[in-house]
């Protein structure tokens, strides 16, 4: 027993020595020897080492060998070898999650995807597979991650999110095995796997010297998209469609475009994000919609959450908040939009033309011209304050 321990210790010491000297090739050979050595005395350890070895070897020798994985329940979440941080974020949501705000065409595409899963047997009886993979493309904060989460909840599956920026920031030599570990884990049981910020690989490729390693990472993903089991769904998300390898692009069953919300969606978003406080802000809806137009859902949500906190604590009135918001946005607008905003403010608030002119930078003459008003002084009473 003591002898055996000493031998394990000696092997460990040798392994550490080689690893710290960054003699990767020697580490690999040594581990291969250890796999053979421990196969009989400690099959579990041998198997584990073999897995690591194959993940490592697969990057130098395409085509990849399939890893035989143990049963799902026995498998813990994969972690980064060095930091021990979990590689995957897990979401297990109830199916009653609120649906994200989605453009009509997008909603249709997703509902088809859900139907396919609900009627998977019917499809199978006709020799058809359900959609297995999709890539979400769009600017930040418009609901890509949120939709992945909702979709998983609708399918009654857990969502695992693999942030590729995090994978890529691990030592380059480890990115490959980290990626493999996460993919292998996700393939074992029905789930939705989201490869978030998949452009991280491409970005890294353009400013890194180790091009070979990155190509192999792309190869790993290419192959996975092709072979993803129909029991699960593989999703990817990116802000940068232009950075995605065309070969990768082609392999997804679906390309789903997320866009910044348009006017009706902005309006809906304002209603949703204000929740019970909508009653109070309802009268500003046109001004809010105008001001938030062109912004992402998450930016809109952030401002409205701030409003709600201020109202809850009584630190500002709704009119103050609106005025401050409009001020912060107005000067960045194009001239015509500033005029439109000025007109809207003139019609829907009791701000004086003087204040509106201050806020929007549009002259009082122009405001008068557009609102077809007499140059009257009737609105002077509540100068400087919004007060509907
Ligand atoms: N379509 C939407 N419907 C409702 N809320 C949304 C929507 N899009 C974004 N939000 C709000 O904004 C937050 C951030 O959205 P999400 O993380 O899904 O954006 P994303 O598109 O994944 O952005 P990124 O590209 O930066 O990862 C969500 O948690 C949600 O509160
Ligand atoms: Mg996201």
d(CA 205, CA 310): 45
Tell me, yes or no, whether 380 lies in a domain: no
Identify whether residues 94 and 213 lie together within a single domain: yes
Q: Assess whether pLDDT exceeds 60 at residue 374.
A: no
Q: Which residue has the higher pLDDT, 295 or 381?
A: 295
For the chain, how long is the longest CA-to-CA vector?
102
Tell me, yes or no, whether 48 lies in a domain: yes
Q: What is the pLDDT of residue 193?
A: 96
Please give the average per-residue pLDDT across 26-32, as a whole number.
79
Which tens digits make up the pLDDT trace of 220-269? Answer: 888 888 889 999 999 999 999 888 888 888 899 999 999 999 999 999 99
Q: Which ligand is nearest to the CA of 272?
A: 1
Identify whether residues 172 and 234 lie together within a single domain: yes
Residue 27's pLDDT band, with cuts at 50, 70 and 90, is confident
Question: Which ligand 1 atom is at minimum distance from the Cα of 100?
Answer: 3
pTM: 0.74
d(CA 339, CA 212): 55
Residue 305's pLDDT band, with cuts at 50, 70 and 90, is very high
d(CA 268, CA 261): 10
Q: Which ligand is nearest to the CA of 305?
A: 1
Q: Pick from 192, 224, 257: which residue ends a domain?
A: 257
Q: CATH number, domain at 246?
A: 3.40.50.300
Tell me, yes or no, whether 286 lies in a domain: yes
Which tens digits make up the pLDDT trace of 112-134? Answer: 999 999 999 999 999 999 999 99
Query: Which three-class secondary structure string do you get for the chain?
Result: CHHHHHHHHHHHHHHHHHHHCCCHHHHHHHHHHHHHHHCCCCHHHHHHHHHHHHHHHCCCCCCCCCCCCCCHHHCCCCECCCCCCECEEEECCCCCCCCCCCCHHHHHHHHHHHHHHHCHHHHHHCCCCCCCEEEEECCCCCCHHHHHHHHHHHHCCCEEEEEHHHHHHCCHHHHHHHHHHHHHHHHCCCCEEEEECCHHHHHHHHCCCCHHHHHHHHHHHHHHHHHCCCCCEEEEEECCHHHCCHHHHHHCCEEEECCCCCHHHHHHHHHHHHHHHHHHHHHHHHHHHHHHCCCCHHHHHHHHHHHHHHHHHCCCCHHHHHHHHHHHHHCCCCHHHHHHHHHHHHHHCCCCHHHHHHHHCCCHHHHHHHHCCCCCCCCCCCCCCCCC
Identify whether residues 236 and 326 lie together within a single domain: no
> Is the CB of residue 131 less than 8 Å from the CB of residue 113?
yes
Q: What is the pLDDT of residue 149?
A: 97
Residue 254, judged by CB atoms within 10 A of its CB (0-12, 13-18, 19+), counts as middle
Q: Pick from 57, 79, 98: which residue ends a domain?
A: 57
Q: Which residue has the higher pLDDT, 365 or 179?
A: 365
Identify whether residues 152 and 284 lie together within a single domain: no
Residue 297 CB–ligand 1 contact under 6 Å: yes
Which tens digits make up the pLDDT trace of 335-358? Answer: 999 999 999 999 988 889 999 999
Closest C-alpha residue for ligand 1 atom 13: 298
Identify whether residues 350 and 323 lie together within a single domain: yes
Identify whether residues 95 and 176 lie together within a single domain: yes
What interhelical angle do 24-38 and 2-20 show, nearest 10?
160
Residue 200 CB–ligand 1 contact under 6 Å: no
The domain in which residue 29 lies consists of 2-57
Tell me the CA–centroid distance for residue 96 and ligand 1, in Å.
18
Tell me, yes or no, whether 384 lies in a domain: no
Which tens digits make up the pLDDT trace of 60-79? Answer: 433 333 344 444 445 677 77
Please give the average per-residue pLDDT across 291-296, as a whole number.
94
Identify whether residues 248 and 273 lie together within a single domain: no
Q: Which residue has the higher pLDDT, 28 or 144?
A: 144
Which tens digits make up the pLDDT trace of 164-196? Answer: 877 776 656 677 777 888 888 899 889 999 999
Tell me, yes or no, whether 387 lies in a domain: no
Average pLDDT, the chain: 84
Tell me the CA–centroid distance for residue 355 and ligand 2, in Å.
40
């Amino acid at each position: 027993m003591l002898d055996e321990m000493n031998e394990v210790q000696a092997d460990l010491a040798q392994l550490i020595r080689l690893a710290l000297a960054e003699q990767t090739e020697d580490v690999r050979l040594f581990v291969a020897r250890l796999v053979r050595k421990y196969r009989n005395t400690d099959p579990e350890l041998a198997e584990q080492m073999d897995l690591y070895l194959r993940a490592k070897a697969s990057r130098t020798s395409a085509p990849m060998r399939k890893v035989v994985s143990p049963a799902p329940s026995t498998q813990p979440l994969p972690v980064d070898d060095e930091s021990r941080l979990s590689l995957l974020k897990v979401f297990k949501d109830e199916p009653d999650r609120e649906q994200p705000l989605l453009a009509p065409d997008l909603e249709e595409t997703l509902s088809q995807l859900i139907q396919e899963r609900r009627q998977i047997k019917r499809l199978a009886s006709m020799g058809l597979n359900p959609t297995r993979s999709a890539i979400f493309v769009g600017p930040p904060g418009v609901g890509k991650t949120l939709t992945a989460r909702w979709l998983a909840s609708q399918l009654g599956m857990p969502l695992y999110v693999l942030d590729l920026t995090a994978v890529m920031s691990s030592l380059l030599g480890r990115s490959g095995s980290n990626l493999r570990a996460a993919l292998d884990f996700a393939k074992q049981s029905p789930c939705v796997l989201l490869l978030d910020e998949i452009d991280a690989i491409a970005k890294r490729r353009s400013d890194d010297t180790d091009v070979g390693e990155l190509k192999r990472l792309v190869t790993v993903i290419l192959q996975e998209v092709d072979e993803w089991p129909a029991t699960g769904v593989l999703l990817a998300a990116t802000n940068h469609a232009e950075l995605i390898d065309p070969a990768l692009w082609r392999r997804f069953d679906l390309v789903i475009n997320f866009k910044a919300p348009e006017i009706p969606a902005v309006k809906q978003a304002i209603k949703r994000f204000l929740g019970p406080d909508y009653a109070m802000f309802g009268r500003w809806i046109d001004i809010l919609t105008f001001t938030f137009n062109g912004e992402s859902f998450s930016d809109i949500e952030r401002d409205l959450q701030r409003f709600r906190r201020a109202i809850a604590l009584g630190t500002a009135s709704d009119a103050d908040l609106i005025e401050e918001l409009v001020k912060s946005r107005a000067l960045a607008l194009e001239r015509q939009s500033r005029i439109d905003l000025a007109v809207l403010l003139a019609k829907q608030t009791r701000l004086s033309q003087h204040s509106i002119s201050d806020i929007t930078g549009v002259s009082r003459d122009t405001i008068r011209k557009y609102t077809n008003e007499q140059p009257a002084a009737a609105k002077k009473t509540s100068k400087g304050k919004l007060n509907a």
